[in-house]
Amino acid sequence: MRRLLVVAAGLLSWCGLAHAQGFPTHPITMVVPFAAGGPTDAIARIVAEQMSKVLGQQVLVENALGAGGTTATARVAQAKPDGYTIVMGQMGTHGTAPAVYPNLRYNPVTDFAPIGMATLAPVLIVARKDLPPKDLKELIAYAKANASKLNEAHAGVGSISYTSCTLFNAAMGVKITQVAYRGTGPALNDMLAGQIDLMCDQVVTYVEQVKGGAIKAYAIASSERSPALPNVPTTKEAGLPNFQVMAWSALFAPKGTPPEIVAKLSGALDKALDDENVRKRLTEQGGIVPPKADRTPAWLQAFVKNEVERLTPLLKAALAAQK
Ligand code: MLT
């Protein structure tokens, strides 16, 4: 009986390995939990295109919206763990969501098989082009005097832009009306039309509009200037040193995805990020390609745990300060 069980276990693991070796045999769906045209979508499309080439199968991007990205992320957590449904999670869905959704239908740390970090991106403070303040110091004074007249857009409660705006407001000591969108792509369109005053979001997708003068950038919330926008000062230079946010986007499969399949996806992401054209497209938009050592599933697993622990008290304190 024991021998039979050993043989059966061996057969099962051989079948699993054989299945993983053939992976992928059909297209993979990469879920983006925010609207098309926003930073998460832009990063996902650049990475998916190159991963398709590496894997020899299409990686199709599917935008699925709602609740600051948590609706679609929950769907992926519950998807069949076969590697064919993965999510481009990010600092909102996998870092700050637990702080603001008491009934979140997934645990970012335990309900996923991390694949790897895709891109880091500092947060940029942007405004409609005709907002009167000329620099960050003027903006802070203006916000204090006109808080009730200003609005700021975000991509849903818990998203990167929501967290960044909340931290920004707390750092300035003002309360500004927040307008929720299902992604900052549509929010940027409304800013271009003059309906939205302010946004704090990961820099990716704002660079061209800032360079072209269609919107204005007050500061980048990082310790160093972004090579993509070298004329935009850091928050430290501009007078708000305590407001610094480094956003990130990373790929996750559902928990239970076979390790061999996770390794294939992770290897494809790693190769995609080594591609010169991918690196150029990401860095031109202000993204930071993670170093090789920070692209592994194990690194991402530890990072997400740390981010949830770091960001939860930070966001809760900023929200409490806004009450
Ligand atoms: C966020 O605010 O979390 C993202 O920038 C949303 C998006 O990619 O649209």
Q: Are 286 and 249 in contact (CB under 8 A)?
A: no
11: pLDDT confidence band, cut at 50, 70 and 90? very low
pLDDT band at 16 (very low <50, low <70, confident <90, very high): low
Q: Do the strands 112-128 and 198-202 form a parallel or antiparallel pair, or are they unpaired?
A: antiparallel
Cα-based angle 264, 70, 154 (whole degrees, multiple of 5)? 115
Closest residue by CA, ligand 1 atom 6: 183
With a 6 Å cutoff on the Cβ, whether 92 touches ligand 1 is yes
Which pLDDT score, from 0 to 100, does residue 20 have?
Answer: 77
Regarding the beta carbon of 181 and ligand 1, being less than 6 Å apart is answered no
pLDDT bucket at 66, cuts 50 / 70 / 90: confident
CA of residue 143 to ligand 1 center, whole Å: 23
Q: What is the mean pLDDT of residues 100-119?
A: 98
Contact between residue 202 and residue 39 where contact means Cβ atoms under 8 Å apart: yes
pTM exceeding the 0.85 threshold for the entire prediction: yes
- Answer yes or no: is the C-beta of 34 below 6 A from any ligand 1 atom: yes
pLDDT > 70: percent of the chain? 94
Q: Are 288 and 203 in contact (CB under 8 A)?
A: no
Q: Is 205 in the pocket of ligand 1 (CB under 6 A)?
A: no
112 lines ligand 1 (CB under 6 A): no
